[in-house]
Amino acid sequence: MFAFGGGKGGVGKSFLSSNVGIYLARRGLRVAVIDADLGGANLHTFMGMELPRTTLADFIAHKAQNIGDILVRTPVENLWLGAGVVKDLAAPNFKHSQKQRMIRSFRHLDFDAVLLDLGAGTSYNVLDFFAAADCGILVTLPEPTAVENCYRFLKSSFFRHLRNEEKDGRVKGMLDFAMTGEEPMRGPLEFIGQVAAIDRAKARQFADELEYFRVALIVNQVRSAEDRAIAPAISGALKRFYGFNVRPLGDIAYDDSIWLSVRQRQPIMAGRVETIAARDTAAVGKAIYGMVHEFRAMR
Amino acid sequence: MAGESDDKTAPPDATPPAGSEPADTAAEPPQPVTAPAAETAVPPPEVPPAALPEEPEPPPPPPPTPTYLERIRAMTYYEILDIRRDASFDTINQAYKTAMQMFSPQSIAIYSILSSDEAATMASQVETAFRVLRDPIERRKYDKDLERSGLGAAEPGPRHATEGDSRGGGTPTTADLLLPEQKSFAFAASAFIIEALDSKPPRPVEVRAEAPPDAPEQPPPAAAAPAEPPREAGAQAAQQTVPAEVRATPVPADDIEEIEQRARQEAASPVRPISDTDSVPTLLPAPAVDLNAPDASPPPAAQSSDEMRGSAEAPDAALAPPEGDESKLGPGTTYTGPLLKKLRERAGLDLHDIAAITRITNTNLANIEEETYKDLPALVYVRGYIVQYAKCLKIPDPAGVAASYIERWKNAVGEIE
C-alpha cells in the first residue's frame, strides 16, 4: 500500500497516483487506485471516468462491507478505481473507529499494489492514512512553501503514527505538545531526546519507528537542473536533521502535456509516452514497481 | 507504520486528551537558537532530566531543545557529508557537491529547518569535512582520531532499506558503539541526544585539539592553539588554523566570512603556483592537494624555489614529513625516485591512494619511483606528475621537487646518450 501525500494542494498527488496506477497495471500488476480524499474527490476525473455508482461513501455508510466491493473497473486492464466521497462528509465527523475500519479494509484488499490518493492539508485522516501505508510518498514542488508544507506534513504524520500506538498518557501529552504546542517541535530527534529523559526504552522504540518509517519523495514540476538537485537536498536534510530516511523516486518535468492531459481527461500514461514529463512519470512508476517487488519479497 | 492497528483504543481525533497542556512547572528557559549559545559544549538539558522523572503529573514540560548548532558540531565528517566510513574518493566528491547545494543560502530544502546561522555553520563544516576526507593523509589521521575517541573503526555495513541514491552507502556512526544493534544516522543522532540527556559529554568534539602522538606533522600553530582552550578560544583556534586541518568546531557565524576570506587568500597564495589553471571550486579553501590540476604546463620549476618556500612556510613546510633524514628536506635535497617512494610509504599510502587523487596512472607512478625513465612520458608531463605527487605527500616546494627529479633524469639520460 502506497499513499500519495504532501500537505499542499495542487502538487500533483492525484495526477501521480492515477498515472502511476496505470503504469503499474500496464506492467501486469493488479492495481487499485483509491481516492482517499474524503470530501473533494476527483480521482475518477483524472482517470477520464464518470463518477462511478459505488464509492467510498457506501463503505462508510456500511452499505458495503469491504472496500473491494466498491471498486470499479477502469478502461485500463488490471486497474480498479475506488472513487472518493464527493458529497460533504465533513472530515471531523469521520470517527476514529470508521477510519480504523477503512484502513483495515485497505490492507485486506487482494491486489499487488494499492495506491491511496490523499487529500490536501494535514487533517488527522490524511496523516493517519499516510502513516498506515507501507510507504508514504511525498509529492512536492520545487517551491519553498510546498517544501515547507511537506516537512510539516511528514513530521505531523510521524507524530500521529506514534500517538496512535501510544498507551502512556504522559507520552501522549508530549506528542500532542510536539504537534500543537506553542513552539512546535523542531523534529522527531528532539522529541525522542525528550522522551529519553523519562523513558529510555520508549525512546529506543521511537528511534526504531523513525528508522523504519518508510517515505519516498517525488518532486513535481521541475524546470531546471537546479530544481532536479532539490530532491537529494530534501532527503539529505530530512535525514541529517529530522532523522527520516527518504528515498527520492524521481522528478517530473514541468510540461504542458500534463496540463493538457488533465484538461482533456486523458491520463498521460494511457496514451503516447513522448513528452519528457511522461517519461519522468514512467520512471517514477518504474521505481514504485521495484518497491512493490521489494515489499513482496520482505513478506 | 507496518503495525496493524486493529485493537486501538485511542480516543477520537477531535478529542484532545486530558491534560495535553504542559504543566508550567520547572519552566526552563529554552536554549537560544542563536550562534552565541553554541559556545557551550556541555549538553544543555542537564537539569530537566533530573527533575522530570519525579513529576507524577501528566505531560512534563519539554526540556530545552538542543540547538542544531550543537548537533552539527557533534557530527563526524562522515555524517556531515552523509557518506560511509569507507566511501570512495568519487563518492566524497559527489557528496560534497550535493551538500554544498543543500546548504547554500538559496537552498529551499533547508530554510525551514535551519536558521541562517546553522546553515552557514553547516556549510563551513561541509568544507572542512571535504578538505579533510579527500586527502588520504588527513583522512587517515582523522579516522585515527575518531577511533581514539571511541567513535569506532571504519565499518562498512549494509544500509537500511531506503538506500538507492547516489550517496552509495550507509553511515556507520556513533550508534555502532553506543547502541550496537542499531545502524543508522537517525539512530546515531538520537543516541546523541539520549547521551546528552544522561549528562555525559556527547562526544569528544575537540578530539583534534590534542595533537595526537603519532601525528607529528601537525603544524606548530595548530598544535599550540588547541592546548585545552575554552570554547571561546576554540573559535579563535579555528580561525588561525583553518587552512590546515582543524576540526572546525565552533565557528561563530561572524567569523565565517573572515575564515572564508582567509582561506581564499591561502588558496591564492604562491604555495600553489602550479595550479594556476586548475579548477578547484572557488569556495574551497586552500586545498592541500590539487585534484584537478592538469598534468601539463608547470611553471619553470627551477625558478625561485627559495622564494616560494618563503611564503609557503606557514602551512606546507610545517606539514613536511617529519622524522629522520627527511627532516632536512629542502632546496638542497636531491629527490630521487626511491626517496619519493620512501616518503610515500612513510605517509602510509600506497600507489593506489596517490593514483586516486592525482589521476596519474599506477604505471606512471611506479615508473617515477623506479626511475624507469624510458617508460615515462614526455618530460613536461612528468614534471606535472611529480608536482602532483609531491603535493599529495605534502612535500614542501613541489616545483622544486620536480626540478630536482628532472635534473637527475636529464643527467642520467645524458650519460646514456
Q: CA B308, B314, B320, B323 torsion: positive or negative?
A: positive
Quick: pLDDT tens for A132-173. 999 999 999 999 889 999 998 999 999 999 998 888 888 888
Among chain B residues, CA nearest to A234: B109
Q: What is the mean pLDDT of residues A78-103?
A: 78
Domain ranges of chain A: 2-144+214-298
| Ranges for all domains in chain B classified under CATH 1.10.287.110 | 68-263
CA B314 to chain centre: 20
User: Does pLDDT of B130 surpass 60?
Assistant: yes
Least confident of B93-107, B149-163, B227-241: B227-241
Q: What is the mean pLDDT of residues B21-25?
A: 38
Determine the Cα–Cα distance for residues B401 and B417; give it in Å rounded to an integer.
Answer: 24
User: Does pLDDT of A226 surpass 90?
Assistant: no
Other CB atoms closer than 10 Å to residue A28's CB: what's the count? 11
Cβ–Cβ gap A176/B59 under 8 Å: yes
Which site among A98, A222, A240 would you substitute to test the B interface, given the most B Cβ atoms closer than 10 Å to its Cβ? A240
Determine the Cα–Cα distance for residues A155 and A173; give it in Å rounded to an integer.
Answer: 16
Stretch (H or E) spanning A287: helix A276-298
| Residue, of A161 and B163, whose pLDDT is higher | A161
Could you report the predicted ipTM of this complex, rounded to two decimals? Answer: 0.77
**Confidence at residue B315, expressed as pLDDT on a 0 to 100 scale:** 39
Averaged pLDDT of chain A:
87
Nearest-Å Rg of the Cα atoms of chain A is 19
CB-CB contact of A235 with A206 (8 Å): no
Least confident of A115-124, B81-90, B305-314, B337-346: B305-314
Determine the Cα–Cα distance for residues B203 and A77; give it in Å rounded to an integer.
Answer: 58
Which homologous superfamily is B287-416 in?
lambda repressor-like DNA-binding domains (1.10.260.40)
Q: Of A126, A144, A136, A291, whose CA–CA distance to A218 is shortest?
A: A136
Q: Could you tell me the three cell numbers for B237?
A: 583556534
Confidence category of residue A238, pLDDT binned at 50, 70, 90 = very high
Q: Could you tell me the three cell numbers for B69?
A: 548548532
CB-CB contact of B149 with B203 (8 Å): yes
Q: Does A284 touch chain B (CB under 8 A)?
A: no
A79-82 β-sheet, strand order? A72-73, A79-82, A31-35, A113-117, A2-5, A135-140, A215-222, A246-253
**Confidence at residue B152, expressed as pLDDT on a 0 to 100 scale:** 55
With 0-12 / 13-18 / 19 or more C-beta atoms within 10 angstroms meaning exposed / middle / buried, residue B236 is middle
Q: Could you tell me the three cell numbers for B331?
A: 632546496
Determine the Cα–Cα distance for residues A141 and B292; give it in Å rounded to an integer.
Answer: 36
User: Does pLDDT of A187 surpass 90?
Assistant: no
Other CB atoms closer than 10 Å to residue B269's CB: what's the count? 17
- CATH 3.10.560.10 matches A2-144+214-298: no
Cβ–Cβ gap A243/B185 under 8 Å: yes
Among chain A residues, CA nearest to B163: A247
User: Who contacts B293 (Cβ-Cβ below 8 Å, separation ≥6)?
Assistant: B274, B275, B277, B278, B384, B387, B388
User: Who contacts B224 (Cβ-Cβ below 8 Å, separation ≥6)?
Assistant: none
With 0-12 / 13-18 / 19 or more C-beta atoms within 10 angstroms meaning exposed / middle / buried, residue A167 is exposed
User: In 3-state terms, what secondary structure has residue A135?
Assistant: strand
The CATH class, in words, for B68-263 is mainly alpha
Confidence category of residue B210, pLDDT binned at 50, 70, 90 = very low
| Chain A residues in contact with B166 (beta carbon < 8 A) | 232
Q: What percent of chain A shows pLDDT beyond 90?
A: 42
User: How many helices (H) and strands (E) would you count in chain B?
Assistant: 18, 0
Most confident among A22-26, A172-176, B392-396 (mean pLDDT): A22-26
CB-CB contact of A45 with A117 (8 Å): no
CB-CB contact of A182 with A200 (8 Å): no
Phi, psi (deg, nearest 5) at residue A117? -100, 110
CA end-to-end span of chain B, whole Å?
78
User: In 3-state terms, what secondary structure has residue A13?
Assistant: helix
Amino acid at B262: R
Determine the Cα–Cα distance for residues A200 and A74; give it in Å rounded to an integer.
Answer: 50
CB-CB contact of B69 with B77 (8 Å): no
User: In 3-state terms, what secondary structure has residue B387?
Assistant: helix
Averaged pLDDT of chain B:
59
User: Does pLDDT of B272 surpass 70?
Assistant: no
Quick: pLDDT tens for B362-372. 888 888 888 88
Q: Does B26 touch chain A (CB under 8 A)?
A: no
User: Who contacts B98 (Cβ-Cβ below 8 Å, separation ≥6)?
Assistant: A229, A232, A233, A236, B166, B167
Of A124, A233, A243, the CB nearest to B190: A243
**Confidence at residue B378, expressed as pLDDT on a 0 to 100 scale:** 80
User: Does pLDDT of B205 surpass 60?
Assistant: no
User: Does pLDDT of A114 surpass 90?
Assistant: yes
Quick: pLDDT tens for B286-314. 333 343 444 433 344 444 444 444 343 33
Q: Within the 38-57 window of chain B, which residues sit less than 8 Å (CB to CB) from chain A? A: 45, 48-49, 52-53
Q: What is the mean pLDDT of residues B204-227?
A: 39
- Alpha-carbon gap: B293 to the closest alpha carbon of chain A (Å): 27
**Confidence at residue B42, expressed as pLDDT on a 0 to 100 scale:** 40
User: Does pLDDT of B361 surpass 70?
Assistant: yes
Residue whose entry in the numeric block shows the C-alpha cell 519522468: A280
**Confidence at residue A120, expressed as pLDDT on a 0 to 100 scale:** 84
**Confidence at residue B109, expressed as pLDDT on a 0 to 100 scale:** 87
| Residue, of B222 and B70, whose pLDDT is higher | B70
Q: Within the 207-226 window of chain B, which residues sit less than 8 Å (CB to CB) from chain A? A: none
